């Protein structure tokens, strides 16, 4: 599908005053999306596990708009309290989606949102937040186009989420989502995320993700700035080529269940992401001393056992611990005994792979 396929031809239904709600999951990339063209056209394909416990719930109440001007009319509340500092991001989102959702100028929207994870945990809420909002808008559009098919509904929800945040387009379905064109995945696209429909070995079913909270609070360098620094980066083309190759390898691993090979690809992707940041101009560092201590502990733990525990990172200092369900008990013991000391206020979040957004 191309961009213009997302512009509606005709609205036949009515959008009444009502509340539309969705719960959207967070996701963790195994092959990283890092580098983009405007607006969120990825420089390389990525694939992520959809999470389960880490999610955002959003409700959008539609009502008549008081002013007649063509500007957007909305208010936003986080956990019941007004959040005016979210407004610029939402305003940008409205501007970007307007050509594809022409009804957004015609109403007032009261957006209420809440995250299952602490707001200051350093877990990005943009993926789950933007996708929950996009899904609410799709439910509204569905009342205007009552015969819309399910597949299109989710594809457009992902397309709109991407306009808010690239990784948000992977926060729609599960257990794995691909964003960006890749030669081995015929349905893949740079415009929206698609569900991974290949075979998934039993080893990966119920895969666990325990997020160790190392550094909480605002990131020093935002993802948007980080993505921009990939443009003109001396290693950029080699990195993009590597991401394609790593995704090809991972697709084989997902089928054959080779956990040792999984660990190698996933950890290498995490470190390359940060290596690109550290070698950007200007260069910067998001890893903290405790991030490195945790990584070394994981390597030590693996060397002394037959464990397939591995780590991945997003654009921050927190560490995601990925492991098969069969290792749940032993890994949680290891976390409590040896890793929790490196977490801010001993905080960590237990999650596992999930199956996508849910209508509320
Ligand atoms: C490191 O989706 O946060 O988490 O598109 O600018 O909103 P924008 O960036 P964002 O980038 C995610 C980067 C990453 C890797 C990934 O999730 O693939």
Q: Are residues 120 and 234 in the same domain?
A: no
The answer, yes or no, to whether residue 158 has pLDDT greater than 70, is yes
**Helices 87-97 and 150-164: angle between axes, nearest 10 degrees:** 130
Over residues 236-248, the pLDDT tens digits come to 999 999 999 999 9
Does residue 357 fall inside a structural domain?
no
Domain range for 299 is 207-352
Q: Are residues 190 and 219 in the same domain?
A: no
Q: Are residues 175 and 310 in the same domain?
A: no
- The per-residue pLDDT for 68 is 67
Query: Ligand 1 in contact with 40 (CB < 6 A)?
Result: yes
330 conformational bin, left if phi > 0, alpha if psi -120 to 50, beta if neither: alpha
The answer, yes or no, to whether residue 326 has pLDDT greater than 80, is yes
Query: Ligand 1 in contact with 90 (CB < 6 A)?
Result: no
Residue nearest to atom 4 of ligand 1 (CA): 314
Q: Are residues 288 and 339 in the same domain?
A: yes
Q: Are residues 300 and 217 in the same domain?
A: yes
Over residues 200-234, the pLDDT tens digits come to 999 999 999 999 999 877 778 889 999 999 999 99
Structural domain count of the chain: 2
Does residue 44 fall inside a structural domain?
yes
Over residues 272-310, the pLDDT tens digits come to 999 999 999 999 999 999 999 999 999 999 999 999 999
Does residue 307 fall inside a structural domain?
yes
Percent of the chain exceeding pLDDT 70 equals 99
In a 10 Å sphere around its CB, with 0-12 CB exposed, 13-18 middle and 19+ buried, how is residue 271 labelled? middle
Q: Are residues 170 and 211 in the same domain?
A: no
The answer, yes or no, to whether residue 25 has pLDDT greater than 70, is yes
Burial 140-153, CB ≥16 within 10 A → b, else e = bbbbbbeebeeebb
Average pLDDT, the chain: 96
Atom of ligand 1 nearest to the CA of 164: 7
Q: Are residues 136 and 255 in the same domain?
A: no
Query: Ligand 1 in contact with 166 (CB < 6 A)?
Result: yes
Q: Please report, for the domain that includes residue 309, its CATH number.
A: 3.30.70.890
Over residues 342-351, the pLDDT tens digits come to 999 999 999 9
Beta strands in 200-323 (DSSP E): 208-212, 310-313, 319-323
Does residue 360 fall inside a structural domain?
no
Query: Ligand 1 in contact with 139 (CB < 6 A)?
Result: no
Does residue 279 fall inside a structural domain?
yes
Percent of the chain exceeding pLDDT 90 equals 92
Over residues 164-199, the pLDDT tens digits come to 999 999 999 999 999 999 999 999 999 999 999 999
Q: Please report, for the domain that includes residue 64, its CATH number.
A: 3.30.230.10
Count of positions (residues) in the chain? 360
Q: Are residues 7 and 143 in the same domain?
A: yes
The answer, yes or no, to whether residue 71 has pLDDT greater than 90, is no
Q: How far apart are CA 80 and CA 164, in angstroms?
A: 22
Q: pTM score, two decimals?
A: 0.98
Confidence band of 59 (pLDDT split at 50, 70, 90): very high
- Distance spanning both ends of the chain, measured CA to CA: 28
Among candidate residues 180, 198, 216, the one where a domain is terminated:
198
For residues 144 and 101, the answer to whether their CB atoms sit within 8 Å is no
Among candidate residues 143, 165, 198, the one where a domain is terminated:
198
Q: Are residues 134 and 249 in the same domain?
A: no
Distances (CA, A) of 178 to 181, 198, 237, 273: 8, 11, 20, 18
For the ranges 111-120, 210-219, 321-330, the maximum mean pLDDT occurs at 321-330
Q: Are residues 120 and 150 in the same domain?
A: yes
Query: Ligand 1 in contact with 317 (CB < 6 A)?
Result: no
Does residue 332 fall inside a structural domain?
yes
Q: Are residues 215 and 177 in the same domain?
A: no
Cross-strand bridge partners of residue 61: 19, 110
Does residue 47 fall inside a structural domain?
yes
Query: Ligand 1 in contact with 333 (CB < 6 A)?
Result: no
Confidence band of 124 (pLDDT split at 50, 70, 90): confident
Interval between CA 70 and ligand 1 midpoint (Å)? 31
Q: Are residues 165 and 298 in the same domain?
A: no
Query: Ligand 1 in contact with 44 (CB < 6 A)?
Result: no
Among candidate residues 198, 229, 247, the one where a domain is terminated:
198
Q: Looking at residue 84, what DSSP letter applies? A: G
Interval between CA 23 and ligand 1 midpoint (Å)? 20
Query: Ligand 1 in contact with 279 (CB < 6 A)?
Result: no
**Helices 126-144 and 150-164: angle between axes, nearest 10 degrees:** 140
Across the range 56-80, mean pLDDT stands at 90
Does residue 29 fall inside a structural domain?
yes
- The per-residue pLDDT for 120 is 66
């Amino acid at each position: 599908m191309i961009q213009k396929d997302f512009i509606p031809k005709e609205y036949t239904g009515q959008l009444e005053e009502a509340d539309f709600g969705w719960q959207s999951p967070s996701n963790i990339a195994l092959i990283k999306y890092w580098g983009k063209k405007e607006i969120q056209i990825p420089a390389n394909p990525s694939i992520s596990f959809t999470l389960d416990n880490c999610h955002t719930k959003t409700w959008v109440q539609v009502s008549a708009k008081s002013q007649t001007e063509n500007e957007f009319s909305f208010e936003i509340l986080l956990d019941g309290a007004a959040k005016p500092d979210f407004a610029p991001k939402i305003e940008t989102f409205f501007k970007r989606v307007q050509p594809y959702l022409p009804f957004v100028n015609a109403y007032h929207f009261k957006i209420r949102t809440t995250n299952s994870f602490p707001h200051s945990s350093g877990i990005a809420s943009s993926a789950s937040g933007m996708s929950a909002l996009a899904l609410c808008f799709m439910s509204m559009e569905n009342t205007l186009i009552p015969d819309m098919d399910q597949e299109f509904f989710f594809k457009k929800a992902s397309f709109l989420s991407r306009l808010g945040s690239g990784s948000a387009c992977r926060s729609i379905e599960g257990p794995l989502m691909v964003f960006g064109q890749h030669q081995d995945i015929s349905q893949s696209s740079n415009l929206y995320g698609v569900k991974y429909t290949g075979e998934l070995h039993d080893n990966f079913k119920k895969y666990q993700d325990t997020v160790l909270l190392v550094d909480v609070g605002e990131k020093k360098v935002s993802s948007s700035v980080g993505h921009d620094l990939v443009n003109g980066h001396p290693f950029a083309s080699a990195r993009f080529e590597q991401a394609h190759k790593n995704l090809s390898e991972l697709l084989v691993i997902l089928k054959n269940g080779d956990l040792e090979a999984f660990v190698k690809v996933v950890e290498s992707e995490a470190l390359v992401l940060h290596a690109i940041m550290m070698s950007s101009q200007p260069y910067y560092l998001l890893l903290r001393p405790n991030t490195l201590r945790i990584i070394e502990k994981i390597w030590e733990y693996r060397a002394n056992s037959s464990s397939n525990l591995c780590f991945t990172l997003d654009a921050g200092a927190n560490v995601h611990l990925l492991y098969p369900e069969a290792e749940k008990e032993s890994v949680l013991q290891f976390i409590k005994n040896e890793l929790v000391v490196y977490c801010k206020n001993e905080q960590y979040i237990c999650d596992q792979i999930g199956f996508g957004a849910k209508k509320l």
